[in-house]
Amino acid sequence: MSASLLHYRAWQGSWRRPFWAVVPIARVALGMLLRRKLFWALYGFALLLFLMFFFGSFLLDWAETHLAATPIQIGRLKTEPERAVRFLRQGVRVLNGSQETFAYFFSYQGAMVLVILALAGSVLVGNDFTFRSVGFYLAKPIQPRHWIIGKCLAVGVIVHLLTTVPALVLFAQHGMSDWNYVIDVDYFTASAAGNGPASWLLLLGIIGYGTLLATVLSIVLVAAASWLRRTMPLILVWVSLFLFLRIVAAILVDGLKYDGRWRLLDLWNNLGLIGQACLGFDHGSIRPAPQPAFWEAGLALGGLCIACLISLKMRTRDVPIVR
């Protein structure tokens, strides 16, 4: 070990701005998570739902074309093809590629996202505090905000991988199943009412819903994991936020008939409400009723995010002295 071996060239280039550091920070966090087999197992499990949505429409098409000819007999149970197809269509009616399809998809897939984030929070964020790796980061030419953004970016990528990306595949599947777009130049704009496949508004709604989930969940997770660090406390808080408060809100509004604004306690409902607004749902059609207004849900989410960011600022201000 001799200083004579210090032969790297003096840096002649210009430094990239500190903001660029968010990319390696996110990459490091993702690298930590993607190495874990448990993550891939959960990701594969989460994709089962996507596969159900993906092949559900094919199942419906197949049933409509193949079950029409002959009566169906399963054991002693015999039924007419029309009834079977009607039953099947009723079961998979939400898989037609409409806004309802994506509302259900985000809702179900979101539950899996919550589970994965609760388990991954300590790896993505908490370990930086537990092992004091933050000290290495903040000794580099970056500010705490860059670390926060980098971590949020990593969480956002996970959320998008689980929700937005599969949803876009579903959108493409439903959009492309109708080949009219090849010959009809007005195909996308003409169906822009937001209620059917191949609608630009629907596409924007899907991206908006995914971005909303990624933004809010990443800020909440990074804030929670930076204080709690370990997996178990994080799971407890996560369950309280997304399950306990949901039950409380349901009891207050549905059971005790309190005002619908009490549903603002339910963070997941707020996310769903704004997400469905992105998808173009009318407020009156959203169940369960009554629901708070869209702007009220947005305000609640915004307030939560601001509180989390303030807490993160406090957490990273004197971070190296935290044990």
Partner 1 sequence: MPDFAQNADAGRADRALTEAPADGITSASITLPVPRTREDRAPVADAPGSPTLLFDRVSKWYGPVIGLNQVTLELRPGITGLVGHNGAGKSTLLRLAAGQIRPDLGRVAIAGFDAWTAAAKRCLGYCPEHDTFYEDWSGRRFLVAMAQLFGFTRGESRRRTEATLELVGMRDRADRPLASYSKGMRQRIKLAQALLHDPPLLLLDEPLSGIDPIGRRESIALFQELARRGKCLLISSHELEELEKLTDHIAIMAAGRIAAVGTLSQIRSVLDGHPLTIRIASDQNHQLACSLLALDDVVGIDRDGDALLVRSRNPRHLFAKVSDLVIEENLEIRHLETLDESTHDVLGYLLGGRGR
Q: Which residues lie near partner 1 (CB under 8 A)?
A: 1-11, 13-18, 20-21, 23-25, 27-28, 31-32, 35, 127, 131-133, 135-143, 317-321
Find the shortest distance in angstroms from Cβ 141 to partner 1: 4
CB of 176 or CB of 314, closer to partner 1: 314
Report the C-alpha gap between 192 and 200 in whole angstroms. Answer: 6
Closest CB to partner 1 among residues 34, 247: 34
Between 89 and 132, name the residue whose CB sits nearer to partner 1.
132
**Buried b / exposed e along 249-285 (16+ C-beta atoms within 10 A):** bbebbeeeeeebbbbbbbbbbbbbbbbbbbbbbeeee
Euclidean distance between CA atoms 253 and 42, whole angstroms:
33
Q: How far is the CB of 139 from partner 1 (least distance, A)?
A: 4
CB of 39 to partner 1, least distance (A): 13
Choice between 269 and 316, CB closer to partner 1: 316
Give the DSSP per-residue string, 100-150: HHHHHHHHHHHHHHHHHHHHHHIIIIIHHHHTTTHHHHHTSS--HHHHHHH
Q: What's the CA gap between 113 and 46, in Å, rounded?
A: 8
Q: Closest CB to partner 1 among 25 and 265?
A: 25
Q: How far is the CB of 2 from partner 1 (least distance, A)?
A: 7
CB of 16 to partner 1, least distance (A): 4
Task: Tell me if 110 sits within 8 A of 268, measured CB to CB.
Answer: yes
- Work out how close the CB of 155 gets to partner 1 at its nearest, in angstroms, rounded to a whole number: 17
Residue 204 near residue 235, CB atoms below 8 Å = no
Question: Which of 35/83 has CB closer to partner 1?
Answer: 35
